[in-house]
Structure 1
Amino acid sequence: MFDHFAWSVVATPLLVLLGTWLSADRLRPDLAPRVFAWSAVVAALASTVNLVVFGLKALAQIPAVAAVGDWSADVVVADTAHVPWVPGLSLVWACAVAIAVGAQWWRRRRVLRAARAEVEWLEPRGDVVTVADERVEAFALPGTRGRPGRIVLTTGILDILDERQRVAVIAHERAHLAGDHHTLVWLTRVAATAHPVLWPVARKVAYLVERAADEAAAVELGDRRHVARAIGFAALAAARSGGVARSHGLPAALGAAPGVVPRRVSALMVPRERRRWTAVLPVLLAIGTVVWTFECVYDLHELLALASIR
């Protein structure tokens, strides 16, 4: 069974990381975040399932558990005798993943609830809500089943933008809501929590959703250079005000690590490229690791069945 651990837990996440590094910027901006987000999620899920399977094997090696299950603990142990540390490590890792992901889910739920509480009493103008705050901030607040998504702007950002720049920023945030980008960012962060090798992929997806929203805004306004100038100007003003829009950990026009906004502006200043073929490799990798994971589960079943023969 060790080959499953080597492929799904070690090799696949590294291949997803490598594939993201080599091809993320070559894929169409509207397609790239979905391809790499779901590739990371599938890789992390496959890794976690394999960890759980090996964790169950670690439990099955305990004589008391084997007695209850009516199988031979020695037979189960012999399957990974050349790598005796794998089952124990997998059990600890799987438990750590469950705790970390649970804590992350609870923290996100609490933050979103607080964010909605801040704006739900305000009167929206369409899908836009204005918050009285001198900081320069703008972000997309996802909706729930009973509440639509909202675009949140502070009075600080409205004061420094002209009408066309406001339209560009709002179009950018509206693209985040339409593309469900907050879900992609969140799921990729969960994947990275489950497998730390995927953290660079999570950061890349956070950048790619900004690029996708930039391109959507450029299409809506019909002027790529105008969108580039609006985003660059707003980001510079946000940095000076100390209110760069990292609000609530959500995708935002201004919320980016140092150096990211210049890259986005630069990308908007050149003609848009249309490429899809690079999406094939991560999709095939995701399908392959899912099939391999099902085989790992089946192998555990076969091992326990073999151990039950006396």
Structure 2
Amino acid sequence: MFDHFVWEVVICPALIAVVIRLLADRLRPEAAAIFLVTSLVATAAGCLLTLAAFALKAVAELPFAASPLNISAAYVRADTAREPWVSWLSLVLLVAAVAGIVRVWRTHRRDAAYARRFAGLPVAGDGVVLLDDERAEAFAVPGAPGRIVVTTGMRAALDDARYAALLAHERAHLTARHHVMVLLVHLSAAVHPAFRLLVRPFDYLIERAADERAATEVDDRRVVAHAIGAAALVSEHTHRAGSLRIAPSRRDLRRAGAVPRRVASLIAPRRARSLLPLLLPAAVAAFSLAWTAECVLDLGELLVAAHH
């Protein structure tokens, strides 16, 4: 079974991380976001199930755990006799992954509880919750129905055209359920260290997807680009401690390089881009799931043989 550990815990996670980082900014963001998130989640699920299988093997290697089930602990240990550490390392990695998943889920629940604070606030005619705050902030709050929250500081900083583009961007987040994608990426990042390198690229990709949807809605890419740049500048200028942001991805938007790249992508002429490169992460994810299934079957066969 050791080869399953090598492929599922070492090679496939590293491979999908490299592929996604290479493709994230080279494809049409609307399609790439869904496809790459799906590939990442599938690979993360395969990695997690493989760790669970090896963790179960580690338990079966203990005589006091194997004896009540009439399983030979020595027979189970012999399967990875040359790598006796692999089962117990997998158990440690599984515990760390589950702890990370729980931590991400708790953060999500806390953010969701904070978002519910906006549900009862009065909504303007354009479906926006306008907060009386000099800080320039705007963000989408998922829910049923979703809300767009804008501060008076942000509204005063934008003219009507740019404000409409900003609202289109935030509506795109709600329509495409980008908050679900963000959550899935962060849950996957908790499974394997290599996946943590993909959080910022995915945050950027999801923002680009919303940019493109907004550009289609307002039918003016330059207006959307101007709105993004103006909103980022005024927000950075007025921001103080106690930010109103609730989504983890929002923190990364103001790191150096993110906003200028988004603006440049909108101003540049949009070129037709092939989706064929997306077959590569899909192939890695499919390979990962296939090897995970084989790993589970091998474990089952091992335990049956150890029982007899």
For 2:198, the equivalent position in structure 1 comes to: 201
TM-score by length of 2: 0.95
For 1:218, the equivalent position in structure 2 comes to: 215
Deviation at 1:258, TM superposition (A): 2.0
Q: Provide the rounded CA distance (Å) in 2 between the counterparts of 1:207 and 1:19.
A: 16
For 2:290, the equivalent position in structure 1 comes to: 291
For 1:43, the equivalent position in structure 2 comes to: 43
TM-score by length of 1: 0.94
For 1:34, the equivalent position in structure 2 comes to: 34
What is the percentage of aligned positions where both structures have the same residue?
Answer: 43
Kindly indicate whether the alpha-carbon contact (under 8 Å) linking 1:176 and 1:251 is maintained by their aligned counterparts in 2.
no
1:189 equivalenced with 2:201 (yes/no)? no
1:168 equivalenced with 2:155 (yes/no)? no
1:302 equivalenced with 2:292 (yes/no)? no
Deviates more, 1:104-113 or 1:211-220: 104-113
For 2:121, the equivalent position in structure 1 comes to: 121
Structure 2 unaligned regions, length at least 5: none
For 1:11, the equivalent position in structure 2 comes to: 11
Residue 65 of structure 1 aligns with an amino acid whose one-letter code is A
SS at match of 2:12: helix
Deviates more, 1:110-119 or 1:64-73: 110-119
Structure 1 unaligned regions, length at least 5: none
SS at match of 2:121: coil
Deviation at 1:160, TM superposition (A): 0.6
Deviation at 1:259, TM superposition (A): 1.3
Cα distance change, pair 16–264 in 1 and its aligned pair in 2 (3 A): same
For 2:176, the equivalent position in structure 1 comes to: 179
SS at match of 2:21: helix
Q: Provide the rounded CA distance (Å) in 1 between the counterparts of 2:246 and 2:235.
A: 16
Q: Provide the rounded CA distance (Å) in 2 between the counterparts of 1:249 and 1:126.
A: 22
SS at match of 1:80: coil
Residue 139 of structure 2 aligns with an amino acid whose one-letter code is F
CA RMSD of aligned residues (A): 1.8
Cα distance change, pair 59–298 in 1 and its aligned pair in 2 (3 A): same
Kindly indicate whether the alpha-carbon contact (under 8 Å) linking 1:214 and 1:227 is maintained by their aligned counterparts in 2.
yes
Kindly indicate whether the alpha-carbon contact (under 8 Å) linking 2:121 and 2:129 is maintained by their aligned counterparts in 1.
no
Deviates more, 1:90-99 or 1:211-220: 90-99
1:217-256 residue pairs with structure 2 within 5 A? 217-242=214-239, 247-249=245-247, 255-256=253-254
1:92 equivalenced with 2:92 (yes/no)? yes
Deviation at 1:185, TM superposition (A): 1.0
Residue 282 of structure 2 aligns with an amino acid whose one-letter code is V
Cα distance change, pair 133–218 in 1 and its aligned pair in 2 (3 A): same
